[in-house]
Structures are given as C-alpha cells and as structure tokens.
Amino acid sequence: MNHRDRIRLLINRHARLDAALMRSAQLNAVQVVALEYLANANRFSRSPSHVADYLGTTRGTMSQTLKSLEAKGLVSEERLADDRRSIRYRLTEAGRAALRAANADRCADTGMNDADQAMLERLLARSLADRVARTGTKMFGICRECRHHELRQNGQRYCHLLNVVLAEEEAEQLCHEQVPA
Amino acid sequence: MNHRDRIRLLINRHARLDAALMRSAQLNAVQVVALEYLANANRFSRSPSHVADYLGTTRGTMSQTLKSLEAKGLVSEERLADDRRSIRYRLTEAGRAALRAANADRCADTGMNDADQAMLERLLARSLADRVARTGTKMFGICRECRHHELRQNGQRYCHLLNVVLAEEEAEQLCHEQVPA
DNA sequence: CTTTATAGTAGCGAGTCGATACTATTGCAA
DNA sequence: TTGCAATAGTATCGACTCGCTACTATAAAG
C-alpha cells in the first residue's frame, strides 16, 4: 500500500459514504451528481453525451438516468434548432429544490478550517487533472480558467473556440471544451 | 458553490472515473473496494456486517456482493466456532491476483510528487475522520494508531479492548473497533 | 425458559451498468 | 445530387447494486 493506493481507497470510501447520506432523499448518487453537473454546466455542455463524458460512463447509461430524472420532473429536455439530433437538458425548479435538499442532507460543516479545505480542493483538482491527462478524457473545468477564454478590456468575455460572446455568469460554468490555460 | 461542495463534487467524480477504469476487469467498483477492504482488515473485522459498515451500505446488500465474489472464487467464507451466526471472509489466491490486476489497470503514476501525495492523503483522512465523527459511523483505521493498542516493552502488541495479543503484521491492518488515539 | 438481540440471507422492485443494435440527423465527398 | 460515413440519442438485454422487508438461526439476557 503506497500513497496512491491509500488515496484511491480514501476517495472511494468517501464517495460511498457520501452516497449513503443521500438515502433519505428520493435520489441516488449518480442522479445527484448528474443534477449537480447540469446545474453548473454552460449551455454548450448539457447533453447526455456530455454528462456521460463527465462521469466516465456511456451515452446509453446516462440516457437512462436522465430519462428517469425527467420522469421525476427534475429536468426538462430541449431540442436544439441547429442540430435536431442533439438534446440540451435543463434543471426545473423542482430539480433545483431537490439538489438543495440533497446537499443540505449531507451535513453542513466539515470541521476543517478554510485554508485546509482550499488545499484539499487544490490537490484533488491537481490529481484529477493528472488522471484526465493520462486517460485522454476531458477536464470539464470552469470557462474562466480556459485557454480559449478572453476577458476583454471592456469587460466582455469571449470564447475563441466557439466564437461567441459569453454572459458574465457563464464564466464560472463548466464547459466540455475547457482546456486549462 | 463553496469549498465543501466543490470537494464533494471532485471526490465523487474521481470515484466515478476510477470505477470506469475497472471496466476492463471482470469486477465492478464495489466489488474491488470490498476485496481491498478484506485484504487489509484484521481477523476481527471481516464479516459482511463489517464490510457493510465500512462502505456505508446495508448487511443485505453486502451479503449479495460477497456471495457474488464467492461465486467467482475470489473470497472464501469461514464459519466461526465461538459464534456460529458469524462469517469471516478471506481472500483466496485468485482474489489477491484479481486485486493486483485491478490496481494495475488503474494507471500507475499520478504525476504528483511524494510530498503532495502525502498531504492529499492526510487531508482526505482528516476529512473522512470529521465525517465519521459527525455521522456516528466507524473509522476503520489501522490497529497501530488505535486508542486500545499498546506496544509493550518486549515488542509484543496488545489490544486492550479485545484483550488479545496481536501478531506483528496485524498492527497495520484495519479494525472495525479502531478509535484514533 | 422465554424474550430479545444479533448475524446473515432470500426475494422484491427500482435503477445502474456495459454492450449491442437501432433510428434519425448531419456532414462529407464523389 | 446522391451516397456513405459519422454523430446523437434511444431501446433492449442480462448482470448487478441498492434499500427494504421478512425470514431463519443462533446467542444473550431476564
């Protein structure tokens, strides 16, 4: 057992215990993480394929999960005009409420001070970035920290990959095309 | 989104992506973590109930998982003489091989230096300890770091809770009764 | 000796999971 | 323009997890 193995074990147990805390809610772990992703992803990154990539599963599996969330009224699907094959999911108000409830269930305070939490977040993000680089998956980081993101002098934000002007709040959202700067 | 929420998201995605890496093996995530637990737990902590506690699931669910592992020949069950209700699972040689293979599949190097890995492990352990304290579950730490563990002058190790002499290698094993010193 | 607690299991329904095969749409190229 | 390949999503399959309830067997408490 080296550091790497123990870290993996800790991460897996953490995730399991976290999933157990959601037993009270009407949702399971994958459903909550999918909801959380959709709540934070930008308008270019909310298709079944994107959620599947984010969680390392398949389109088929995620399609089922999203359909079950839709049946519960927590997300709604929206067909795109420019590509009629694609779907863009969006949280309903009930979905946002369910997400808030699920997060509230999972105990608020960690007992760790802010500096340690920031350090833990930073190290986890680094570890995840390493894995992403090794396995050729995508990072799904926030738009603002992307290579293609430009904050112009007039305060406008622009994506050089998709060639679109971005709304201010989109700078903090997750993007499937994100490449760390 | 505060630190706590982002940490939870990172941990959950890490665990998902890790599970996806085991797709090639003949095992899924829960089965691997259960095997890993049984490989590292001491002789007092290898019942279905203990594995269930460790992973925050139920006896019934874990019973099924362990039966499926037994059907694959990766673990063997052993009835206890002193309490004929109880079962103690043990990895077979095939089980140890499967565990090694699953770990090898999950990419060796992390790209992080040793100090950062140690720090990440420490912070994850702290975070887990906090959660355990809050939710009233058990820590399952290693024997050597337990309140009931004593290293005597003659080098012998003793557990004051179970009142037994411990073998040297048991000092590093996981115990369901462990309480951090 | 009865009652209660504990350890494990069987069986249920919902849901994930990976895989395959399918439809519909889009894009490319001859 | 037509034809073919790539893409996005889904239906369906079998295996499995998951939480739950009900059950058996054993142990402990009174």
The architecture that CATH gives domain A1-108 is Orthogonal Bundle (1.10)
Supply B28's token pair: 């899924």
Integer CA distances (angstroms), B25 to A178, B21, B31, B67, B98, in order? 30, 9, 11, 18, 8
CB B130 within 8 A of CB A111: yes
- Tell which of A1, A5, A17, A113 to mutate to test the B interface (max B CBs under 10 Å): A17
Per residue of chain A (181 residues), give pLDDT as tens.
788 888 999 999 999 999 988 877 788 999 999 999 999 999 999 999 999 999 999 999 999 999 999 999 999 999 988 899 999 999 999 999 999 888 887 766 667 889 999 999 999 999 998 888 888 888 999 999 999 999 999 999 999 988 899 999 999 999 999 998 8
Domain layout of chain A by residue ranges: 1-108
Q: How many CB atoms lie within 10 A of CB A165?
A: 10
All residues at 6 or more sequence positions from B129 whose CB lies less than 8 Å from its CB, including other chains: B139, B180
d(CA A30, CA B13): 10
What pLDDT score was predicted for residue B133? 84
| Nucleotide D3 C1' to residue A83 CA (A) | 21
Q: Residue for token digits 């934000």?
A: A157
d(CA A142, CA A169): 11
Using C1' positions and the CA of B77, the closest nucleotide is: C8
With a cut of 50, which residues of chain B have pLDDT below it? none
At B126-174, the pLDDT tens digits run 999 888 888 888 899 999 999 999 999 999 999 998 889 999 999 999 9
Q: Is A17 an 8 Å CB contact of chain B? A: yes
Instruction: List CB contacts (< 8 A) between B127 and chain A.
Output: 14, 110, 112, 120
Instruction: List CB contacts (< 8 A) between A118 and chain B.
Output: 3
Q: Is A106 an 8 Å CB contact of chain B? A: yes
Say if the Cβ atoms of A54 and B13 lie within 8 Å: yes
